[in-house]
Amino acid sequence: MGAAGIGSAATRKVMEKLAGPADAGSVVGSLMEAGFEGAAMRAQNAAADLVERAGAVRYPLVTVYCEKVINDLREKFRSFAGTAQIAIEVRHSQDRLEGLEETIEQQTDALTAALSASRGDWGEGMYYAGGYEVSFGRVARGGKNFTQVAKVTFEIGVSRN
């Protein structure tokens, strides 16, 4: 399996791990428990304005994609032994500027709690150690409303023959 295959497999695995019930580490379940009823999750790396132009969007929108695959051969006799860097973006939109930053912070907290709950062996040669980095984008105009994006990046260890 090539680097692109590893990236796709890692993205699918993140989607599987984070799509279950909230107590098992679900991103959507955690967002819904935090009061964000319309939460949706998809595997896609697309600019927010393109997504909005492509059709109806429900917010918060959670997108998952692989940013980078690194085969550093840390296990000598494996064909792939390295990491896949995954990004999860939480996009939120609302008609008022007030409270937007607080809302995106709450949504990001729900996401990082879901990630923390899913630490460990993910099967198929993948594992998540628990670290992550969060960055917050600036508030911008999006359609008729204001939008903001928070991005959580983390690494999944991958070991395959």
Q: Any idea what the CATH number is for the domain that residue 107 is in?
A: 3.30.2000
pTM for this entry: 0.84
- The pLDDT, as a whole number, for residue 36 is 66
- Token pair, residue 78, equals 């494996």
Ranges of beta strands (E only) in 2-161 are 40-43, 61-70, 80-94, 120-123, 126-128, 133-136, 140-142, 145-160
Q: Per-residue pLDDT tens for 1-30? A: 666 689 999 999 988 887 765 555 567 677
- The pLDDT, as a whole number, for residue 129 is 94
pLDDT-based confidence at residue 144 (cuts at 50, 70, 90): confident
From residue 61, alpha-carbon distances to 96, 101, 114 in Å are: 18, 15, 15
Task: Evaluate whether 40 touches 58 at the Cβ level (below 8 Å).
Answer: yes
Q: Is pLDDT larger for residue 9 or for residue 44?
A: 9
d(CA 4, CA 130): 23
Q: How many domains does the chain have?
A: 1
Place of tokens 């997108």: 63
What 3-state class would DSSP assign to 15?
A: helix
d(CA 106, CA 131): 19
Domain membership of residue 97 as a residue range:
3-160
Please report, rounded to a whole number, the percentage of residues in the chain having pLDDT higher than 70. 81
